[in-house]
Amino acid sequence: MKRIVYREWRVPPARYWSLLGILASVIGVAALAFAYMEHEGHWVTGMSNSVVWGVPHVFAVFLIISASGALNVASIGTVFRKPLYKPLGRLSGLLAAALLVGGLLVLVLDLGRPERLVVAMTTYNFRSIFAWNIFLYTGFMAIVIAYLWSMADRKGDPYNRAIGIVATFWRLALTTGTGAIFGFLVARQAYDAAILAPMFVVMSFAYGLAIYMLVLMFSFKEDDRPIGNRILFRLRNLLGIFVLSVFYFTLVYHLTKLYGAKNYDLVGWLLLDGGIYTFLFWVGWVLIGGLIPLGIIYHPIHGRDRNWIAAACGLVIVGGLSSLYVIIIGSQAYPIQMFPGQTILESGFFDGVQGAASSYSPRIPEVLLGFGGVAVALLVTAVGVRVLQFLPESLADEVMPPDEEASGRAAVGAQA
Amino acid sequence: MTDHHESNTGPAECGPSQPDRRTFMATAAGVTAALVAPGVIMHSVAGPRTEAVTSDVRWGLLVDTAKCADGCSACIEACDRENGLDLQTQPSGAQPTRWENQKSVWIRKVKLQDNQTGRVTNLPLMCQHCEHPPCVDVCPTGASFKRADGIVLVDRHTCIGCRYCMMACPYKARSFVHEVMSNQLTRVPRGKGCVESCTLCVHRRDYGEESTACVDACQAAGHEAIIFGDLKDPESPIRMRLAELASRQIREDLALNTGVRYAGF
């Protein structure tokens, strides 16, 4: 084992500036989309009084929970004392902060009155989990910055573990809080389930790690830095566990719903009869986001191939966006059950006539805004790794610290 | 004292300019009076608005669904007129079907059929003015609030347009203003990017008027299906009617203690 050396990202300037140019263009287009929506009002989006949160919220929630999940890698190194993960900590912190910035921007720019952000920062209703989340998000940012300092500066080293522990609990609170935004809504049948809070935590593990792995593999490949199989396969295996956990929570969520007769219609609609939501559940959430990545991860040959592992990460991300589309938008599209035992024959406000779900089709500006958030997260990351020493020179097996607890298993894994 | 003294001695010193000054003072006083008086008068007329609302009353509605006529939309039209919702115009370029779901609706008619018995019920549905409103709980800035007299409102100055209250409302009673406002009534200010819903004609409450637009319209149409009144006053018509009729709350299971009650279904 050698000393881990961190260096700025040294990809050729032409390539680096091209990357920044592409990201800046996406951000520019998103800014125009925002200006258009803000100028005209939300009628130019697909959102309505029935489906009040649309694609921007899918992206925002995805980025926010991924931010929390991306920090996991640092936590494993610091809090759970896995030396193997220590060199990965700085990028983990940077990515967490960057993803959070991207997610929050999308969330804020989709407000009906984004210029009143100062009101949201100064006027609080502490009964609202939303208000708590404002503190959870800003606190997360501050803690991650302190965490990065403790990792990068010798003077910060003595505080590293303490800050890491705080960060771990904070990130758990953050994702629980984000899940609770939906889980505590008694009005809508599909949301009204406390299991959504831990489910969001597990989802954050999977999506955050998938994004982390892709960024790590991309940045290392571009700069010809080696990543050893030991660490890569460890991350891959971890991703497998997280994806399986998402499956488990998905199953329990549906079983919880199915336990009550009042929810039979909801579950039947979602799993069989919900059109785009049924499709996205089975194809996006289950197949693309779950079964195929698991098939790759646990495949004896493909599971060792970096391209396949990267593909698995990409699929987990696509599956994650599908899952959140189903959770956030599908749950709103399903009509609110105000009159159990009655069929609505007519309504002046789309109350689910004959059980019909509300329609929603995203419009281009809102999708562009979502992509803008992703681009902001990647831009912050790209600038961060370029100007500061976030990336280790090498993650090759011989450079990496031994992982005492699992050294035997890791060695076997590397040989296999 | 000095001013008084000066004003006494002033005219002798002013000489020829005195009439001009007097005219000017008179004109100035007149103009000032003309400018200030309406405000003073309005202030005195609008006296009740300056008094804090108390919890001595709780405003509410009772809907007798047996009297709610199929196909009648008098309450909706009256609400739209009263609150300026009839001034909403579809933005050019908006898709008509989507716009129908994007424009503000404070009260709507719903027609139900019992799955077991086939019995058909008509009823108006609006903000239920809950005692424990979920919209108020979830609002991050406290813009959604409940007045002491039970009316649930949105403070349009602190609403940031996050729409979390719309997610939380079990009655889908709230609307988001999706378009730029070009036409609105002074008594009901509205604004793009804010959430709104039935106010129980709060402007009438604040001027001490009886009833709501929907109740008046229903009465004028000869149905008298909606009664407005103070739920806390045992002598009020609404309370007396509630004592006679079996009534229920929509989504009673949520224990929100709604201010709007329904009878006959």
DSSP A70-135: HTHHHHHHHTS--GGGGGGHHHHHHHHHHHHHHHHHHHHHTSSSGGGHHHHHH---TT-HHHHHHH
d(CA B168, CA B165): 5
Contact B113 A345 (CB under 8 A): yes
Q: Could you read off the pLDDT of A30-61 as tens digits, one per residue?
A: 999 999 999 999 999 999 999 999 999 999 99
Average pLDDT over residues B148-177: 97
- What ipTM score was computed for the predicted complex, to two decimals? 0.92
d(CA B88, CA A88): 56
Domains of chain A (ranges plus CATH)?
6-255+362-415 (1.20.1630.10)
B206 min Cα distance to partner chain A (Å): 26
Sheet holding B226-230, edge to edge: B226-230, B59-64, B260-263, B247-248
Q: Which residue of A has its CA nearest to B159?
A: A113
Chain B positions touching A124 (Cβ under 8 A) are 140-142
Q: Could you read off the pLDDT of A320-372 as tens digits, one per residue?
A: 999 999 999 999 999 999 999 999 999 999 999 999 999 999 999 999 999 99
Contact A113 B137 (CB under 8 A): no
Contact A342 B108 (CB under 8 A): no
Evaluate if residue B239 carries a pLDDT over 80.
yes
How does the average pLDDT of chain A come out, rounded? 94
Chain B positions touching A131 (Cβ under 8 A) are 140-141
Beta bridge partners of B186: none
Beta bridge partners of A6: A392
- Nearest CB neighbour to B101, from listed A50, A186, A344: A50
Chain A positions touching B121 (Cβ under 8 A) are 342
pTM, rounded to two decimals? 0.90
Mutate to test the interface with A, among B160, B171, B176 (most CBs of A within 10 A): B160
Asked if the C-beta of A4 comes within 8 angstroms of chain B's C-beta atoms, the answer is no
Q: Could you read off the pLDDT of A162-217 as tens digits, one per residue?
A: 999 999 999 999 999 999 999 989 999 999 999 999 999 999 999 999 999 999 99
Evaluate if residue A409 carries a pLDDT over 90.
no
**Residue pairs spanning A and B at CB distance below 8 A:** 183
- Coil vs helix vs strand at B104: coil
Structure confidence at residue B180 (pLDDT): 95
Q: Could you read off the pLDDT of B22-48 as tens digits, one per residue?
A: 666 666 666 665 555 544 444 444 445
Evaluate if residue B58 carries a pLDDT over 60.
yes
Q: Could you read off the pLDDT of A88-139 as tens digits, one per residue?
A: 999 999 999 999 999 999 999 999 999 999 999 999 999 999 999 999 999 9
Sheet holding B107-114, edge to edge: A342-347, B107-114, B120-126
Interface of A with B in 201-220 (CB under 8 A): none
Structure confidence at residue A81 (pLDDT): 87
Q: What is the distance of C-alpha B251 from the center of its chain?
A: 24
Is B48:B208 a contact under the CB 8 Å cutoff?
A: yes
Is A333:A360 a contact under the CB 8 Å cutoff?
A: yes
d(CA B106, CA A348): 10
Is A330:A274 a contact under the CB 8 Å cutoff?
A: yes
Is A69:A335 a contact under the CB 8 Å cutoff?
A: no
Q: Could you read off the pLDDT of B202-215 as tens digits, one per residue?
A: 999 988 888 999 99
Contact B108 A336 (CB under 8 A): no
Q: Which of B195, B171, B153, B163 is nearest to B254 (CA)?
A: B171
Mutate to test the interface with A, among B167, B181, B198 (most CBs of A within 10 A): B167
A67 min Cα distance to partner chain B (Å): 21
Is B247:B62 a contact under the CB 8 Å cutoff?
A: yes
d(CA A154, CA A13): 30
Contact B176 A345 (CB under 8 A): no
What is the number of other CB atoms lying within 10 angstroms of the CB of residue A299? Answer: 13
